Structure 1
Amino acid sequence: MPHHRSTQADVAALAGVSQATVSIVLSGHTPKGVRISDATRNRVLEALRITGYSANPVAQRLAGGKNQLLGVFTYEKTFPRGGRDFYGAFLNGIEEAAEQLGVDMLLFTSARVVDGRRRLAGDGWQRLGIADGCLLLGQQEDREELQHLLDTNYPFVFIGKRETDKHLLPYVGADYVTATARQVDRLAALGHTRIAYAGVQSDDQSTRDRVDGYRDAMTAKGLAPRFLDLRDAARGTGEIVESGVTAVLLAPENDPDEIVDAFEARGLAVPRDVSVVLLGQPHLPPRRGRRWSGFSVPREEMGARALVLLSRIVHQDAEPTRRSPVRPSAALRLTDADYHQIIDCPDVEGDTVALAPSLTRPFERNPS
């Protein structure tokens, strides 16, 4: 039998007062010219205890004009399936920052997923209005939707570098360009001259940044860029052997353990014959416990800093409150650097990088 949810009318009837009196007691603020005796207030509080009534926090906040609610919208499904956990670290950072800022978070999940991507079109715009602002996460965003948010001045921050024609879109991203270039420098310092980039050539911003970092670093060293597609691991590793490549930069969509298995099937060992560097955490968790060399993406820091930025955008014209420690003075005067934050990706030493084979053995595999 369903349990009846108590209402303000139930509380008012039990206490023998009006619903307006119950509302005033719940708010904790007595309007000017209104007097509620201690006895009446105590009767209302006792009725609240007996009925177990709990106010609708969204309705209370909307009535007060300040929700203290911020949202998170993800273009792909949020929670991991098949071992994939793209969003977990971002959400950890968001939660930590939300606790410190004293705000509650809403996860928008009702938008239908079509071809692996959610869209805000339809009633999604109205749903966002529940929150004061929203964080956006996703590998494949809708550019028209982002422009609509900009045009309507809805407060939002994208987690991940994003660019628009007028560079107005606020984001907190990772510095994939510099981090990828450092991996080329690391391998070149170990004598590698045939360094390949293995990854799908897609149009998303993070892929473009990684490719730009790789190509620029190779060109600066007078080395020829080589691009491989390792979705078919056996075929791709065969191409590596035939071309004489001695080091591979793996984009995160690759399964590094599968690549190592394909190398070993050809009698090659990592890192003795081929050095392997990961350009960020792989989408699938490693199975062998190998310590991969490369760089990591500071996802928790990105999530936390994005929420702080969003809070500053939302509150930059508001007075500070006990629940919102960010003050609207100099701390809220946002600059271009605030709106477009890029965070360094720390290197991971690992054990999958070694000297080029030509420096440790008197032969070189099939030089091209």
Structure 2
Amino acid sequence: MRITGQGRPRRVSQADIARRAGVTQAAVSLILRDKATTIPEETRRRVLDIAREMGYRADPLARRLAKGRSQLLGIFTYERVFGTAQRSLYHPFLLGIEEAAEESGNDLLLFTSAAMSGPVRSIYAGGENKLRLVDGAVLLGRDEIPADLEQLVAEQYPFVFIGRRFLDDGREVPNVSPDYRGAGRVLAGRIAALGHREVRYVGANSGLPATADRLAGLRDGDLVVSSSFPKLDEISPAFVRELRESGVTAVVAENTGYAEAVRNVAPGLPIAVAGISEESADEHWSGYGIPGRLVGRRALEQLLAAVEGGGDAISTVECPQHEGTTLTRA
């Protein structure tokens, strides 16, 4: 039943039931929550009958807040996650987050209106923490604002970043990341077993922790690893000639885009990819994959533990190795 009168119809409230039953609203609240231990049985039955007759339905938000939580979790991104193609970089991570949220009985709220100027987004745009609307949040993005993370840590606000991130004093913030270093170590062994010694890492993001982890894993092995960070259109026959002249016999590309660019100008050069998307249709690439879906699930599970005041603050997810056909003998 909806209560009508002047203006729009409204939801039946506990106050409406109390007026009809001739009891206090506090008594109605206790009865509906099955906590009316001192209220006469006759009164309890009358209130429940009236509630059914009036079509009362508990306000889900009020019910959640009564438990001390909204059961709403946030996703905040420092750049757009909905590209022109569904199979975007963030798609597997978002799938994993969604699955874990659904299984845990939590709803998700995507924050999209926190722009400061131009494409830059900030959690504290407008001077306040927008994430306070939810119990905790998963953060994504390559171009985070360090001051945001500093403030979240200072406030002890529950959050988990997808990918390793650090504060200015060197502390690592709560995060879940693919185990790029472990995967790189395994890949280095595979490359060395094929007779390669000099390897060049080619990618775009020289300053990201993920890049440092990828390189560290390769250098943990018995290889001499150099690195280049050109733009895609700078990968030319001259670029490949410089690789060969410096003794490089294999390339490890940051992603399939860079691998394709190298393959286009040097079809016979052995190539591995240090980060194959789960949704890539190119099964021929050798290297290792990014377990985006599992990382997303772990991030949500880790966030729930943080909201409850426990759990691990930092964790990694193993990257699957891809045999492929592009990494060949020296």
Q: What range is the shorter-chain TM-score in?
A: 0.7 to 0.9
In 2, Cα distance between equivalents of 1:250 and 1:23: 65
* Count of matched residue pairs: 317
Change (3 A) 1:247 1:27: farther
Q: Which moved more, 1:115-124 or 1:149-158?
A: 115-124
Change in CA separation of 1:26 and 1:64 when aligned onto 2, cut-off 3 Å:
farther
Structure number with higher strand proportion: 2
1:75 equivalent to 2:78? Answer yes
Question: Which shifted more, 196-205 or 75-84?
Answer: 75-84
Q: Does 1:176 align with 2:180?
A: yes
TM-score, L = length of structure 1: 0.73
Q: Match of 2:228? A: 227
Unmatched runs of 5 consecutive residues or more in structure 1: 317-331, 357-368
3-state SS in 1 of match to 2:173 = coil
SS in 2 for 1:173: strand
Stretch moving more, 223-232 or 146-155: 223-232
1:142 CA displacement: 1.4
Counterparts of 1:255 and 1:143, CA distance in 2 = 28
Matched to 1:295, the amino acid is Y
Aligned to 2:4: none
Shift of 1:154: 0.9
Give the corresponding residue for 1:278.
273
Worse-superposed segment, 155-164 or 235-244: 235-244
Partner residue of 1:309? 302
Aligned runs of 1:97-112 on 2, under 5 Å? 97-112=100-115
Q: Which position in structure 2 is the counterpart of 1:206?
A: 210
Identity %: 32
- CA shift for structure 1 position 176: 1.3
The alpha-carbon deviation at position 349 of structure 1 amounts to 0.8
Instruction: Encode CA deviations 1:7-48: one digit per residue, 9 max, x unaligned.
Output: 2359938x9458938973895344554554424322322322
Q: Do structure 1's residue 20 and structure 2's residue 25 form an aligned pair?
A: yes
- Closer/same/farther in 2, CA of residues 143 and 126 from structure 1, 3 Å limit: closer
Q: TM-score, normalised by structure 2?
A: 0.81
Change (3 A) 1:293 1:210: same
Give, in whole Å, the separation in 2 of the partners of 1:116 and 1:197: 30
Corresponding position of 1:148: 151
- Alpha-carbon distance in structure 1 between the residues aligned to 2:113 and 2:158: 20
Query: Once superposed, which parts of structure 1, at least 4 consecutive aligned residues long, lie more than 6 Å away?
Result: none
What residue is the counterpart of 1:293 in the other structure? 286
Inter-CA distance 236–226: structure 2 relative to 1 (3 Å threshold): farther
Residue deviations 1:122-166 (CA, integer Å, cap 9, x gap): 357443122222111222211111110111111112121222336
C-alpha RMSD of matched pairs (Å): 3.4
| Per-residue deviation, residues 247-273 of structure 1 (Å, max 9, x unmatched) | 21111283544443x22xxxx43xxx2
**Residues 133 and 310, structure 1, Cα contact 8 Å, conserved in 2:** yes
Q: Are the aligned partners of 2:77 and 2:139 in contact in 1 as well (CA < 8 Å)? A: yes
